[in-house]
Amino acid sequence: MNFNVSVNNLSLTYGSYPALKDVSFILNEPKIYGLLGRNGAGKTSLLSILASFREQTGGTIAIGGEAPFENAEIMKHVSFIFNKDYKDESDNVKESLEYVGRYRSQFDAEYADYLVEKFKLPLKKPIKEFSKGMQSALNVTIGLASRSPITIFDEAYLGMDAPTRDIFYRELLEDQSNYPRIIILSTHLVSEMDYLFDEVIILHKGSIVLQEDFESLVTKGSSITGAAEVVDEFVHPMKQLNSQQLGNTKSVMVYGELSEHDRKVARQRGLEIGPISLQDLFIHLTEGDD
């Protein structure tokens, strides 16, 4: 079965507050999609609709051509990994993984055991006594080992230290290479995780700002550096994201692909053209009043 995701004019309101407004996008390839947004942008609201934890107020969503809400046949193929509260649960790791395995037909118990060892998780200790980082490591173990056609990680790394996050990232890339599926990573750790993304979706104030292939997105931004007056003249017709000046030297971030002619002119005028990061683009594309 094809598990493509199609979202059309999706909206969600909490009382009179619009959490999501006319959101439309398509996920039709087995890729790692980075869902980026500032706190309160609507990321978790959107993902909870994709995972059928709640129903949208307006618009449509289809997974494999079917509406997923209260659709057991669709939802057994979707895994939503979020920061679960384990304080009232007495299960240990072994019991928890056995439970997941009963309800996920693609679940790989051998791979789950490998990840448990990799993350150094104690098998018999109740999960509610784990540190936040250990609970997050268990969550991503479940998400990776489930191998669901649609796997969603909503800031699932919270509490993990840097070495543990690195294990998660490496395992994610390797398992995606071996078992391709649609993986959605929601994050605000843009600079740390950008190399994981095949495609980027930026959500701002409940609306999609852009959806674009990662490689083409980062080539659309440049930094132009040189004498202030020359830089100002060169970037005048361009979309400017940010500028910094020290003495007579100025650097301006611009968004939009530079033509060969632009690059030639820049060199002739003594200007330096450099790349800008996804984080730079993210920050400036989501600027504005909160």
What pLDDT is attached to residue 161?
94
* pTM summary value: 0.90
Q: Mean per-residue pLDDT for 205-216?
A: 92
Inform me whether the pLDDT recorded for 235 exceeds 60: yes
Q: Is the pLDDT of residue 170 over 90?
A: yes
Q: Map out the domains of the chain as residue ranges.
A: 5-213, 219-285
Q: Mean pLDDT over residues 204-213, rounded?
A: 93
- In which band, very low, low, confident or very high, does the pLDDT at 289 lie, cut at 50, 70 and 90? low
Q: What is the mean pLDDT of residues 104-108?
A: 91
Above 90 in pLDDT, residue 171?
A: yes
Q: How far is CA 7 from CA 26, 50, 104, 199, in A?
A: 6, 9, 25, 16
Could you say which DSSP state residue 66 is in? B
- Please tell me the distance from the alpha carbon of residue 105 to that of residue 240, in angstroms, as a whole number: 50
Is 160's pLDDT higher than 70?
yes
Selected residue with higher pLDDT from 113 and 39: 113
* Mean pLDDT value across the chain: 92
Mean pLDDT of 4-17: 94
Cβ neighbours, 10 Å, residue 74: 21
Separation of CA 161 from chain center:
19
Does position 256 have pLDDT exceeding 60, yes or no? yes
E strand segments, the chain: 5-14, 17-27, 32-36, 58-63, 78-81, 150-154, 182-187, 199-204, 207-213, 221-227, 239-246, 249-255, 272-275
Does the domain at residues 5-213 carry the CATH identifier 3.30.460.80? no
Q: Is the pLDDT of residue 244 over 60?
A: yes
Mean pLDDT, residues 121-146 taken together: 94
The pLDDT score that the predictor gives to residue 59 is: 96
Provide the pLDDT confidence category of residue 207 given band limits of 50, 70 and 90: very high
- SS3 of residue 204 by DSSP: strand
| Dmax (CA) of the chain | 69
Could you say which architecture CATH assigns to the domain 219-285?
Answer: 2-Layer Sandwich (3.30)
**What tokens appear for 71 in the block?**
């659709």
What Cα–Cα distance (Å) separates residue 116 from each residue in 50, 152, 163, 173?
Answer: 28, 20, 15, 17
The whole-number pLDDT of residue 198 equals 97
Question: What sections of 240-277 are H helices per DSSP?
Answer: 260-268
pLDDT band at 22 (very low <50, low <70, confident <90, very high): very high
